C-alpha cells in the first residue's frame, strides 16, 4: 500500500462522509490505482435503492475522480495546496454492472494530459474482483485559490444578491424606532460593572450601551444611571438595560427602566413572560438571551423583538445548566437561522475582533454583543483592580465555577475564586442575605457580595467574571479605541468581500 | 494514344510547363506509402511522382531520393508533413538534393518558403480551402493543391467539386491542382473543366504494380465498394478516411464512449504499408476506391486516365451536336 486513508486525507481535501477512496496501492507514471471498501451498513445503500441496495453510479464516478485528483496533486507538487481542483467535465460514463454492499472497489485512473497547468484530462475505471463496473472520462480544472475567490465569489455574490443589499462596511443596527451606527451592543455586566459611564460612552461612539440593573438598590438608582448615560451618549445614542430574570426586585427595577424610556431591554438568566407584557406598555423592544433554539422559539412566540444568541465563550453566567454541553455561539446561531426564526439575532459569547463580527453577520446575525472587550477601558465603571484582573489574566487563569444561581459561570482566578473552586468559600450568612435572586439561590456563597467586592477592587473576596478570550486582553484602552479598532478590522474585510443581506 | 489531344491539352498547360512533365498528373505524396519505386514509375510514365516523407528521418529521405534518382531521370517531388518536428532537416535534404518541387501539408509552409526558393525548389502547398489557396499564392507558392474531403487520409471539410472552381477563381495566376476523389479519366476531365490545371491522385496509385504496400492492402482497395470507406477519429479534430475493417470497428467502439482525443494515439492513423492481415491497421484510402477494380502499372494507369479524359471530353462535346 502506498497511502492509507489518513495519508490520503493529507493530500486531497476530502474527509468522511465524502471521501470515496480509502487506499492508494500505487502510482506508476500517469496511472494511479486505489481502493474503496464498501460496507453493507454504509448509509447510501439504505437509500439506493430501497429494495435493491447498490452503490450509486455518481459516487463511483466521484471515487474515480477523487483518486485521479490525488495523482494530479502529486504531479503539481508542493504548490498544490494553493490550488482548487474542480470538476470541469464528465463524459463517456458507462455503468456496466452494479456494485453491491461489501464490494471492494478497485479504481484505476490515467492522467491523459495536463494542459497549461489548468486542465487535466483523465480516463478511469472501477472494477470489483477483476470485473469492470464503470468507466468514465473527466476533466479537472486547476485554479489558484486566490483567483477562484476573485472570479467566482464575485459572480456568486452578484447572483445571490438579487434583491439583497451589499454592505462593504459594517451595517447599522435598527430595531423598532432606533438605529445604532454600528451593530455592536455592549453586553450588560452586573453587578455595577456596566453603568452610565461605560454604556454612555459606547452609545456615544456608535454602539448600543447597556446599563446592567440587576443587583441595584431600587428604581431611583436605575433611573439615575440611565439619565447619566443618556447625558454622555447625546442625542441619537442608544441606551438599554440588562436585567436577569431570576432577581428578586425584577418588576421594580424593570418598571423604573421602562419609565425612564430606555431604548431596549436585554433579558436573560431566567425567561420571564411578564417582561413582554411590561415592555409592551412602553413599546420598548425586548431582546431575549437564548442559548438554544428552544428558548429562541419561546422568545419569538412571547413577543421578543430580537434574540441575543449567547454561546459558551461568554463571561459570567452561562445558559448551559449542569449536564448540557457547552456550545459555540456561531453553531447555535446557525441552528437558529436554519430553524426559521425571523427575528434579528445578536451573537454573543467570545466575539473579540472585527473578523469575529463579520463572521457572525455572515452567519445571519444582525449584530453582536460584546462585554469583555469593554472592561479594560478607562470608561468602564468597575475599579481599576477589576480591570487589571482582566488585563493580567493568562489563558490558564480563566476558569468555570459553580454559581449559587445554579448555572456555571466563567471567571478570572482571584483568591476568592480559588476558594470557590476548592469549596472553601464562606457560606452566605442568613442575616446578610437580601434575597437578591430569591429561592433559586443555593447559598453556597453570596454571589452578590462577591461581585460587589470585585467591582470595588477587593479581589481577595471578589468574583471577576470574564469571557473565554479575556487572556487576549493585554492593555488598557478607551471605548473609542476599541470601537474604532473593531470597525476598522470589520470594514477592511467587508471592503474585499461584502456582506450580503 | 491520341497525340493531337495531348499536344492540344497539355503543351500550353501551366502545370506541365512549371514542373517540366508530360501530363499534369501528380501522384499524391502518401506518408509511409509513396517511396522511390512508385515515384520513379509515375515519373517514367509522364506524371510526377512525390515521395511521402511523413515523420521520416532526413537519412531515410536522402536514401529514397538517391534511389529515385537511380530509377528515373525525370523530375520528382517530396511531400513534407509540417507536423514533423524535424521538417526543417528534411528541407535541408530537399535543397541539397535539388528536388524539383516540394508539396506541404499539415501546417503553414510560409516560414519555409524563403529557404526553398533560395534553394531553387518550387513550393506547392496542399490546402483545404479556396481562401488558403489565394493566401499561398500571395505568399509565393508556385502552384497549389486544393484537396476535397473525398481524399484518403486526413481530410478537410469541403468537396473537390466545390473547392476547385472556387480556388480557381480565388487565385490570380498560379496553377490549381485538384485533389480528392480523382482516380480515372472522367474525373480528370471534370477537374480540368472545373478550372484545375492538373490533378493529384493518391488512391489509384495504391493499386499500382509498383506501389510497395502489402498485397492485402491492394486487394482491400480493389475490393472496396463506395460503402466500404469510412471516416474515423472525428473526435480528435483530425478525421481520417480509410477502408472499413476490424481496426475501424475497434476505433468506432472507442468513439462510442465519447473519449478524449488523447485516448487514441495519432500514430495509429498514420499511413503505412499494411501487413498480411489487412484487418489490423489503418488502410488509408479515398472515396474513389469503389471505382478501382484492378491493379495496373503506373504507365497503364496514367495512359488510361489520359485516354479516358479525351473520350469523356469528346462525349461531352456531343451535347452540342
Tens digit of each residue's pLDDT (9 = 90 or more) over A472-496: 999 999 999 999 999 999 999 998 8
Which among A369, A417, A409, A427 has a CA at the least distance from the CA of A393? A417
Contact A91 B263 (CB under 8 A): no
Q: What is the CATH number for B232?
A: 3.20.20.70
Q: Residues B10-17: what's their mean pLDDT?
A: 90
Nearest CA in chain A to B257: A92
Residue whose grid cell is 431611583: A220
Domain count, chain B: 1
Domains of chain A by range and CATH? 3-158 (3.10.129.10), 179-382+475-500 (3.20.20.70), 384-471 (no CATH)
**Beta carbons of A113 and B259 less than 8 Å apart:** no
pLDDT of residue B287: 97
User: Within 10 Å of residue B130's Cβ, how many Cβ atoms?
Assistant: 22
Enumerate the residues of chain B whose CB falls inside 8 A of the CB of residue A137.
Answer: 257-260, 263
Q: Do A112 and B257 touch (CB under 8 A)?
A: no
- Closest by CA position to B2, among listed B316, B237, B312: B312
Grid coordinates in use for A255?
A: 418598571
Residues 6+ apart with CB under 8 A from A396: none
Judged against a pLDDT cut of 60, whether residue B3 lies above it is answered with: no
Is residue A123 less than 8 Å (CB to CB) from chain B?
A: yes
Split at pLDDT 50, 70, 90, the class of B175 is very high
B103-158 pLDDT tens trace: 999 889 999 999 999 999 999 999 999 999 999 999 999 999 999 999 999 999 99
Instruction: Using DSSP bridges, classify how beta strands B153-154 and A398-402 pair: parallel, antiparallel or unpaired.
Output: unpaired
Q: What is the pLDDT of residue A263?
A: 95
Tens-digit pLDDT profile for residues A111-149: 999 999 999 999 999 999 999 999 999 999 999 988 887
- Residue B4 is assigned to a structural domain of this protein: no
Q: Give the alpha-carbon dihedral of A382, A386, A392, A395, to 10 degrees.
A: -100
Pairing assessment for the beta strands A104-115 and A208-212 based on DSSP bridges: unpaired
Statement: residue A156 has pLDDT above 60: no
Cβ neighbours, 10 Å, residue A495: 10
Region A355-374: mean pLDDT is 96
User: CB contact, 8 Å: A135 with chain B?
Assistant: yes
SS3 B15: helix
**Who contacts B108 (Cβ-Cβ below 8 Å, separation ≥6)?**
B82
Q: In Å, how far is A91's CA from the nearest CA of chain B?
A: 7
Cα separation values, A152 from A117, A145, A159, A494, B253, Å: 19, 11, 10, 17, 38
pLDDT band of A157, cuts 50, 70, 90: low
| Rounded-to-integer distance, Cα A264 and Cα A307, Å | 12
**Is there a domain that residue B15 lies in?**
no
B contact test, residue of A68, A114, A121 with most B CBs within 10 A: A121
Question: For residue B216, is pLDDT > 90?
Answer: yes
- Asked if residue B222 belongs to a domain, the reply is yes
User: Residue B175 falls within a domain, yes or no?
Assistant: yes
Out of A35-39, A108-112, A450-454, B3-7, pick the least confident: B3-7
Beta-strand (E) ranges in A52-207? 83-95, 104-115, 119-128, 131-144, 166-167, 173-175, 178-180, 184-186
**Among candidates A94, A135, A137 on the partner chain, residue whose Cβ is nearest the Cβ of B260:** A137
CA A2 to chain centre: 40
* Domain containing residue B292: 22-311
Q: Is residue B3 part of a domain?
A: no
Distance CA B196, CA B193 (A): 7
Helix A250-259 to helix A274-281 angle (10° resolution) is: 20
Catalytic residue among A48, A80, A322, A402: A48
A91/B contact by beta carbon, under 8 A? yes
* 8 Å CB contact of A123 and B258: no
Residue in B with minimal Cα distance to A95:
B257
- In-domain check, residue B38: yes
Cβ–Cβ below 8 Å for A92 and B257: yes
Using an 8 Å CB-CB cutoff, list chain B residues near A91. Answer: 258, 260
| Distance separating alpha carbons of residues A283 and A272, to the nearest angstrom | 17
Identify all chain A residues contacting B259, using CB atoms and an 8 Å cutoff. 92, 123, 137
DSSP H or E segment with residue A278:
helix A274-281
Sequence-ordered strand ranges (E) for B182-223: 198-201
Does residue B147 lie in a domain region? yes
B262 and A94 in contact by Cβ < 8 A? no
Q: Decide: A460 and A408 in contact? Cβ < 8 Å.
A: no
Q: Which of A94, A123, A135 sits opposite B260 (nearest CB)?
A: A123
Chain B residues in contact with A139 by the CB 8 A cut-off are: 260
Is B54 part of any domain? yes
Q: What interface predicted TM-score (ipTM) does this complex get?
A: 0.71
CB of A94 within 8 Å of a chain B CB? The answer is yes
With CB atoms and an 8 Å threshold, state whether A121 touches B262.
Answer: yes
Pick the residue of B235, B259, B266 with the most A CBs within 10 A to test the interface with A by mutation. B259
- Identify the CA nearest to B116 among candidates B135, B99, B95, B90: B95
Concerning whether A48 is annotated as a catalytic residue, the answer is yes
Beta-carbon count within 10 A of A7 CB: 13
Q: What is the pLDDT of residues A399-441, one digit of tens each?
A: 999 888 888 999 999 999 999 898 888 888 877 787 777 777 8
pLDDT average, residue stretch B2-12: 69
Q: Record the cell numbers describing residue B293, joined without a space.
A: 477494380
For residue B274, give Cα distances in angstroms to A331, B206, B210, B214, B284: 71, 11, 15, 5, 10
Give the DSSP H/E element, type plus range, for residue A400. strand A398-402
Is A115 in CB contact (< 8 Å) with chain B?
Answer: no
A353: number of Cβ within 10 Å: 17
Contact A187, A371 (CB under 8 A): yes
Amino acid at each position: 500500500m502506498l497511502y492509507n486513508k489518513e495519508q490520503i486525507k493529507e493530500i486531497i481535501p476530502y474527509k468522511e462522509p465524502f471521501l470515496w477512496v480509502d487506499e492508494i496501492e500505487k502510482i506508476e507514471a500517469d496511472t494511479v490505482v486505489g481502493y474503496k471498501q464498501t460496507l453493507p451498513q454504509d448509509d447510501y445503500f439504505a437509500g439506493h435503492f430501497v429494495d435493491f441496495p447498490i452503490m450509486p453510479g455518481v459516487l463511483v464516478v466521484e471515487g474515480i475522480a477523487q483518486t485521479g485528483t490525488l495523482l494530479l496533486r502529486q504531479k503539481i507538487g508542493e504548490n498544490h495546496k494553493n490550488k482548487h481542483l474542480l470538476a470541469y467535465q464528465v463524459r463517456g460514463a458507462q455503468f456496466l454492472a452494479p456494485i453491491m454492499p461489501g464490494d471492494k472497489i478497485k479504481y484505476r485512473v490515467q492522467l491523459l494530459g495536463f494542459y497549461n497547468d489548468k486542465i487535466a484530462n483523465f480516463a478511469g475505471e472501477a472494477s470489483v474482483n477483476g470485473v469492470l463496473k464503470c468507466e468514465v472520462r473527466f476533466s479537472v480544472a486547476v485554479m489558484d485559490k486566490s483567483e477562484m475567490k476573485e472570479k467566482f465569489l464575485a459572480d456568486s455574490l452578484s447572483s445571490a444578491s438579487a434583491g439583497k443589499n451589499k454592505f462593504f462596511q459594517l451595517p447599522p443596527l435598527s430595531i423598532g424606532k432606533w438605529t445604532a451606527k454600528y451593530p455592536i451592543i455592549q453586553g450588560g455586566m452586573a453587578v455595577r460593572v456596566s453603568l452610565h459611564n461605560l454604556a454612555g460612552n459606547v452609545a456615544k461612539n456608535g454602539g448600543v450601551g447597556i446599563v446592567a440593573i440587576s443587583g441595584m438598590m431600587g428604581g431611583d438608582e436605575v433611573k439615575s444611571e440611565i439619565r447619566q448615560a443618556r447625558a454622555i451618549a447625546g442625542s441619537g445614542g442608544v441606551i438599554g438595560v440588562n436585567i436577569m430574570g431570576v432577581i428578586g426586585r425584577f418588576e421594580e427595577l424593570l418598571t423604573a427602566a421602562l419609565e425612564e424610556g430606555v431604548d431596549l431591554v436585554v433579558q436573560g438568566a431566567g425567561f420571564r413572560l411578564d417582561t413582554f407584557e411590561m415592555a409592551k406598555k412602553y413599546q420598548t423592544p425586548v431582546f431575549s438571551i437564548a442559548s438554544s433554539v428552544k428558548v429562541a422559539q419561546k422568545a419569538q412566540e412571547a413577543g421578543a423583538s430580537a434574540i441575543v444568541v449567547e454561546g459558551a465563550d461568554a463571561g459570567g453566567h452561562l445558559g448551559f445548566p449542569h449536564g448540557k454541553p457547552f456550545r459555540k455561539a456561531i453553531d447555535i446561531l446557525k441552528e437558529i437561522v436554519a430553524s426559521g426564526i425571523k427575528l434579528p439575532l445578536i451573537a454573543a459569547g467570545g466575539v473579540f475582533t472585527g473578523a469575529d463580527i463579520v463572521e457572525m453577520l455572515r452567519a445571519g446575525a444582525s449584530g453582536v454583543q460584546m462585554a469583555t472587550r469593554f472592561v479594560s477601558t478607562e470608561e468602564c465603571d468597575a475599579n481599576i483592580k477589576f480591570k487589571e484582573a482582566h488585563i493580567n489574566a493568562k489563558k490558564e487563569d480563566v476558569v468555570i465555577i459553580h454559581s449559587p444561581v445554579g448555572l456555571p459561570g466563567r471567571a478570572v482566578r482571584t483568591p476568592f475564586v480559588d476558594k470557590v473552586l476548592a469549596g472553601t468559600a464562606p457560606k452566605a450568612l442568613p442575616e446578610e442575605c437580601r434575597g437578591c435572586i430569591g429561592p433559586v439561590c443555593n447559598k453556597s456563597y453570596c454571589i452578590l457580595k462577591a461581585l460587589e467586592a470585585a467591582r470595588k477592587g477587593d479581589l481577595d473576596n471578589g468574583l471577576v467574571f470574564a469571557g473565554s478570550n479575556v487572556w487576549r486582553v493585554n492593555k488598557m484602552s478607551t471605548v473609542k479605541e476599541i470601537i474604532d479598532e473593531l470597525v476598522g478590522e470589520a470594514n477592511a474585510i467587508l471592503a474585499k468581500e461584502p456582506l450580503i443581506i | 494514344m491520341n497525340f493531337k489531344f495531348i499536344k492540344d491539352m497539355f503543351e500550353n498547360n501551366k502545370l506541365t510547363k512549371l514542373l517540366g512533365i508530360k501530363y499534369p498528373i501528380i501522384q499524391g505524396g502518401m506518408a509511409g506509402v509513396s517511396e522511390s519505386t512508385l515515384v520513379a514509375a509515375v515519373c517514367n510514365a509522364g506524371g510526377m511522382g512525390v515521395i511521402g516523407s511523413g515523420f521520416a528521418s532526413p537519412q531515410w529521405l536522402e536514401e529514397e531520393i538517391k534511389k529515385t534518382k537511380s530509377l528515373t531521370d525525370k523530375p520528382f517531388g517530396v511531400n513534407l508533413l509540417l507536423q514533423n518536428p524535424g521538417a526543417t532537416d528534411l528541407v535541408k535534404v530537399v535543397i541539397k538534393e535539388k528536388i524539383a518541387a516540394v508539396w506541404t501539408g499539415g501546417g503553414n509552409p510560409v516560414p519555409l518558403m524563403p529557404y526553398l526558393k533560395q534553394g531553387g525548389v518550387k513550393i506547392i502547398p496542399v490546402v483545404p480551402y479556396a481562401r488558403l489557396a489565394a493566401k499561398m499564392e500571395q505568399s509565393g507558392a508556385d502552384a497549389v493543391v486544393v484537396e476535397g474531403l473525398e481524399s484518403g487520409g486526413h481530410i478537410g471539410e469541403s468537396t473537390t467539386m466545390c473547392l476547385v472552381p472556387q480556388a480557381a477563381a480565388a487565385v490570380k495566376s498560379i496553377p490549381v491542382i485538384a485533389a480528392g476523389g480523382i482516380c480515372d479519366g472522367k474525373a480528370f476531365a471534370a477537374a480540368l473543366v472545373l478550372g484545375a490545371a492538373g490533378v493529384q491522385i493518391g488512391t489509384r496509385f495504391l493499386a499500382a504494380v509498383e506501389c510497395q504496400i502489402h498485397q492485402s492492402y491492394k486487394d482491400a482497395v480493389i475490393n472496396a465498394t463506395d460503402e466500404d470507406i469510412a471516416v474515423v477519429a472525428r473526435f480528435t479534430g483530425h478525421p481520417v478516411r480509410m477502408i472499413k475493417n476490424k481496426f475501424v470497428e475497434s476505433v468506432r467502439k472507442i468513439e462510442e464512449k465519447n473519449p478524449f482525443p488523447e485516448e487514441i494515439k495519432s500514430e495509429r492513423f498514420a499511413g503505412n504499408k499494411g501487413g498480411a492481415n489487412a484487418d489490423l491497421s489503418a488502410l488509408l484510402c479515398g472515396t474513389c476506391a469503389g471505382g478501382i477494380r484492378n491493379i495496373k502499372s503506373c504507365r497503364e494507369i496514367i495512359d488510361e486516365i489520359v485516354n479516358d479524359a479525351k473520350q469523356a471530353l469528346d462525349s461531352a462535346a456531343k451535347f452540342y451536336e
